[in-house]
Structure 1
Amino acid sequence: MSRLVVVSNRVTLPAKGGAAPAGGLAVALQAALQERGGIWMGWSGKSSGSREPEPLAQQQHGNITYALTDLTKTDVEEYYEGFANRVLWPICHYRLDLAEYGRKEMAGYFRVNRFLAHRLAPLLQEDDVIWVHDYHLIPLAAELRQMGFKNKIGFFLHIPWPPADVLFTMPVHEEIMRGLSHYDLVGFQTDHDLSNFGGGLVREGIGEALGDGRFTSYGRTFRGGYYGIGIETAVFADFARKAASNIMVRKARQSIEGRDLIIGVDRLDYSKGITQRIDAFEQFVKANPGYHNKVTYLQITPKSRSEVPEYEAMQRTVAEQAGRVNGAMGTVDWVPIRYINRSIGRPVLAGLYRLAKIGLVTPLRDGMNLVAKEYVAAQDPEDPGVLVLSRFAGAARELRGALLVNPYDIEGTANAIARGLSMSLEERQERWRGMMDHLLERDVMRWCDDFLKDLQA
């Protein structure tokens, strides 16, 4: 069996004692790497200032070599904070108004990918299978091919892929498309993303769709596919079952004092639709006065990319909006919105999901959204809650039992909250069972196996 080499922007090191770290993706990749033996390489998250970074720092855990490199301060500013997160991220999330293209940042993005390829090259063996992850590293295969490597190289995009009219607003869209053509398999989250990619190739006249998922572009033939990423469904369900005895979960249950709990969990990002969601909750309470003092909305939003000014501004906006609603609608004994601006451990989070009557997952655009899947997995089969899900999340292509909403339609989302809270037990159980069966069948290990099988086919 060929070794597996995983390359990602950040590397998740194993927890103390070599155990898999929290999070389904890290667990799946670590399991695949342990089985086959291999390397997980990426940025350490550290800056070496203006100095040339030290050689790769390598750690061995079982069959896996973790290889980490620092980047210079300029690299971080141009590659990560610049082109990756201020051009590719907003464009892939359909936010042309937030894309800030600069030639210097674009050059830094390609330069860092070349640097990473040269650091990876000495570690590679002829029959290694290489799996590159996400938008930070699109040019990596082209750099390796230029150095003469003929290995099987696959790429998986964790975020959405936009249609041609959106993508082509990016001045270097052709270089990005050329970079993807150097992979043997390009994987997306949904059939819509794959369709957008193939349509862009054909429309721009830079490629052809050959059928059966095969494309030709820039003189290369490669495959495209969609592989919706899953979670550790059974493990997360077990977390939720056991969480009833967790002291933090018990305190949360006591603190809501018999009110219905609505929960939203998102990284702080403009793509998540948090401000629209708060507006929808406010509209729901206004339109349903019978729920005054009978419902609590818990929004958990850890800080994200605080080095990027737009994210700092958004943090203030969300906090002020939650404060305004609480000030206008709250009473002495009722705070309608509880807003938490920090991370919460997965076992506790699973318990909070299980307490919630409504899981409110309403991104404006999302590649998949694993919160939606975790919420479903955490539910009590005897009394499950209702998932209110944005139709613009990749998860909407899979979770047919959710109440689908347009997050821009504030009144429509408010109505979905009301419908979920009043839904009969029989309908809730039927909707939940179909979604849970799907998640058990297509968990994160299945996602990993399916991609690697197709890459080596």
Structure 2
Amino acid sequence: MARLVVVSNRVADPRKASAGGLAVALAEFLNSTGGIWFGWSGKVVEPAEGGRAGEAQMHSQQAGPVKLVTLDLSREDHDAYYLGYSNGVLWPVCHYRLDLADFEASDIQGYRRVNQLFARQLAPLLQPDDIVWVHDYHLIPLGSELRALGCQQRIGFFLHVPLPPPPMFAAIPGHDWLMKGLCSYDLVGLQSQADHAHFCQYIQGEFHAQSLEGAQWRVFNRTLCAGAYPIGIDVEEFNALAEAPEARDMYERMKREYSRRKLLVGVDRLDYSKGLPHRLKAFRALLQNYPDTHRSATLIQIASPSREDVGAYTDILHELESLCGSINGNYGELDWMPVRYIHRTVARARLPGLYRASQVALVTPLRDGMNLVAKEFVVAQDPEDPGVLVLSRFAGAAEQLKEALLVNPYDSEGTAEAIHLALQMPLEERRERHRALLAVCKRWDVHWWCDTFLEDLGTTHAQESGTPWLRL
């Protein structure tokens, strides 16, 4: 069996409970092949310790049969590659926020420099028959850098964030360089059919790629495959989490405390892509338009801290605090607070209990690659008395979870109407919707995602001709 080599910005030890379902799914293949997980160590070293930009200390440790290999980054490289280009340019553009992108010319050089560094350090570790799986927007050019070093292994790439339509993606300086980097892979995986369509439109329009049978494309004298591989959750792992003491305790506490209320829940990172101010405005519209929700509906909104040193995130934090205060001040009573806003991380082990105690989940991002909270909420429900999922049509999950109540998060009144419908929904309809949603989550879980992508990557055969792949 070919060895699997996973490359991502951050490395997770799959033996640890905090690693999550994705790491567990990847670990099945890594363990069976004695594979490698390669990425950044998370450590930033100052020049006196780590040398000049572009040099790095490499660390290696065994996690059972899996070798974890990590690199430190210099402050200069980290700031340009991670803060600057990855999260200052690619993240906002991929989430359709051109207005928040900071196109600093020096950052792209740092982004390219770190991808070259990763390639130089990884290439000597590879064996001829390895299968390499590169993850996410931080490492788009890594495949082309490996090809330039002579690596002929099968290399796949999966983009966890949305891929915007070509006219928006083309706003990035050097967009053609990035997309040509994607064309160096044997298989490109996207979260949704919409993202896949955007990729195909771009390479056809900009590179005149030739469409072949079986989701294949001929471009730059080589053949690549592309497709939608919607990521799921580990249903069995999440069910086990739901039965553990922490989740059960959370469920019982929430049911006691909110026995006279209808509980709504939102669980998000504090990020402008999640549409949290829009969600609170929709909840305010619910209270304004539907007096029957007064003293009844309570929203628990968890917004975990994220990149709070960036101005755009500070602005959202202040807006959320202002909205929560305004809603509670205008509608609250001595014995009822409409919004409970929690600006800290809640342990994952407790979340299944919170989901199960809630009548409605609000998953309303302005743009999201997939959004696994939606799937976790579905799996956590009691099939006999399930809650209702209110889901943004702009989340990748909306392509699969069609029995949710799909909303436009920019439309506060329409979203409020959908929330009220969810609160009033008859039991039999809730059961029918939940049965359909749960079937989707079980069929297309994280193991299906991992198995299908690696099976497809394992059967690809790069058909290159002419000169070797050149560094971009």
Q: Name the TM tier (shorter chain).
A: over 0.9
SS in 2 for 1:183: coil
* Alignment-derived partner of residue 11 in structure 2: 11
Secondary structure (helix, strand or coil) at the match of 1:297 reads strand
**Alpha-carbon deviation of 1:306?**
2.2
- Contact kept, 8 Å, 1:178 with 1:217, in 2: the verdict is no
Give the superposition deviation at 1:419. Answer: 0.3
Matched ranges for 1:437-448 at <5 A: 437-448=439-450
Measured against aligned partners, the alpha-carbon deviations of 1:166-203 in whole angstroms (never above 9, x if no partner) come to 11111111000110011000000111111000001112
Deviation at 1:20, TM superposition (A): 4.9
User: CA–CA distance in 1 between the matches of 2:6 and 2:60?
Assistant: 14
- Larger CA deviation: 313-322 vs 183-192: 313-322
SS at match of 1:359: strand
Aligned-partner residue type, residue 361 of structure 1: V
- Matched residue, 1:209: 211
Aligned to 1:151: 153
Specify the alignment match of 2:417 in structure 1.
415
Tell me the secondary structure at the aligned position of residue 382 of structure 2.
coil
Structure 2 unpaired stretches of 5+? 460-472
Task: Report the equivalent of 1:97.
Answer: 99
Q: Does 1:338 align with 2:335?
A: no
8 Å CA contact 2:95–2:368 kept in 1: the answer is yes
Which of these residues, 26, 29, 34, is aligned with residue 26 of structure 2? 29
Q: How does 1:348-363 map to 2 (within 5 A)?
A: 348-363=350-365
- Counterpart for residue 44 of structure 1: 41
Q: Which runs of 5+ in 1 are unaligned?
A: none
Contact between 1:239 and 1:351, CA under 8 Å: does it hold in 2?
no
Aligned to 1:307: 309
Counterpart of 1:315 in 2: which secondary structure? helix
Q: Using the TM superposition, give the Cα deviation of residue 19 of structure 1 relative to its aligned residue in structure 2, in angstroms.
A: 4.1
Cα deviation digits, residues 53-94 of structure 1 (max 9, x gap): 553111101110001111011111111100111111111111
Superposition pairs of residues 133-282 of structure 1, within 5 angstroms:
133-242=135-244, 246-282=248-284
CA distance in 2, matches of 1:320, 1:97: 23
Deviations 1:223-257 (A, max 9, x none): 00111000011321343345687434433332224
Alignment of 1:311-326 (within 5 A): 311-326=313-328
| Map of 1:119 onto structure 2 | 121
Please tell me whether the aligned partners of residues 190 and 227 of structure 1 are also in contact (alpha carbons under 8 angstroms): yes
1:387-406 matched pairs, under 5 angstroms: 387-406=389-408
Do the aligned residues in 2 keep the contact of 1:232 with 1:445 (CA within 8 Å)?
Answer: yes
Q: Measure, in 2, the Cα distance between the counterparts of 1:292 and 1:241.
A: 33
Preserved contact between residue 240 and residue 379 of structure 1 (Cα < 8 Å)? no
Which of residues 423, 426, 431 in structure 2 aligns to 1:424?
A: 426
What corresponds to 2:464 in structure 1? none
Q: SS in structure 1 opposite 2:368?
A: coil
1:276–1:436 distance in 2 versus 1, CA, 3 Å: same
C-alpha contact (below 8 Å) 1:21/1:27 kept by paired residues:
no
Aligned to 2:454: 452
Q: Work out the CA distance in 2 between the residues paired with 1:252 and 1:384.
A: 16
Root-mean-square deviation (CA, aligned residues, Å) is 1.4
Shift of 1:150: 0.2
Identity %: 49
Change (3 A) 1:244 1:379: farther
Letter in 2 for 1:340: I
CA–CA separation in structure 2 for the residues paired with 1:22 and 1:353:
20
How far apart are the structure 2 equivalents of 1:306 and 1:210? 46
Q: Which residue of 2 aligns with 1:130?
A: 132
Distance 1:102 1:19 in 2: 38
- Distance (whole Å) between structure 2 residues aligned to residue 289 and residue 20 of structure 1: 44
The one-letter code of the counterpart of 1:30 is A
Aligned with 2:304: secondary structure? coil
Q: Using the TM superposition, give the Cα deviation of residue 41 of structure 1 relative to its aligned residue in structure 2, in angstroms.
A: 0.7
Distance in 2 between the 1:280 and 1:300 partners?
A: 16
Cα distance between partner residues in 1 of 2:319 and 2:441? 35
1:371 to 373, 385, 393: 373
Shift in Å at residue 205 of structure 1? 3.7
> For the structure 1 residues 180 and 76, does the alpha-carbon distance in structure 2 shift closer, same or farther, using more than 3 Å as the test?
same
Q: Paired residue for 2:462? A: none
- 1:193-216 per-position Cα deviation (integer Å, ceiling 9, x unaligned): 110000011122442322421112
Task: Quote how far apart the aligned CAs of 1:321 are.
Answer: 1.6
Choose 212-221 or 294-303, whichever is displaced more. Answer: 212-221
Provide the secondary structure at the position in 1 that maps to 2:239: helix
Whole-angstrom CA distance in 1 between matches of 2:221 and 2:90: 25
Cα distance in 2 between the residues matched to 1:2 and 1:238: 31
Number of equivalent positions: 454
> Out of 375, 380, 383, which is 1:381 matched to?
383
Question: How far, CA to CA, are the matches of 1:448 and 1:141 in structure 2?
Answer: 19
The 1:245/1:348 distance shift into structure 2, 3 A limit, reads closer
Distance 2:37 2:447 in 1: 17
Q: What per-residue deviation string (whole Å, max 9, x for no partner) do you get for residues 316-360 of structure 1?
A: 221222122111211111111011111122221000000110010
Q: Which amino acid aligns with 2:40?
A: W
Say whether the 8 Å CA contact 1:160–1:189 is kept in structure 2.
yes
Question: How far apart are the structure 2 equivalents of 1:39 and 1:143?
Answer: 19
For residues 284-308 of structure 1, the C-alpha deviation after alignment (integer angstroms, 9 at most, x for no partner) is 0111111111111001111112232
Alpha-carbon distance in structure 2 between the residues aligned to 1:431 and 1:34: 37
Paired residues of 2:247 and 2:351 also in contact (CA < 8 A): no
